[in-house]
Amino acid sequence: MFYGAAVRMRRFRVNLFKKAVVLFVSYKKCRTFAGRKL
């Protein structure tokens, strides 16, 4: 049971990390786009 929980936690962390990276990239794109607009 503990092993399954650890795997689930790791998967959850990986998903969270991927989401953070996507958000960061989109944020950077928005910033550069706004910077070019101004």
Please state, in angstroms and rounded to a whole number, the distance separating the CA atoms of residues 32 and 21. 16
pLDDT (tens digit per residue) in 1-38:
678 899 999 999 999 999 999 999 999 998 888 777 76
pLDDT the model gives residue 38: 64
Query: C-alpha distances in angstroms, 31 versus 6, 20, 23, 34?
Result: 37, 16, 12, 5
pLDDT the model gives residue 11: 95
pLDDT the model gives residue 1: 61
- Extents of the domains making up the chain: 1-38
pLDDT the model gives residue 14: 96
Please state, in angstroms and rounded to a whole number, the distance separating the CA atoms of residues 35 and 12. 34
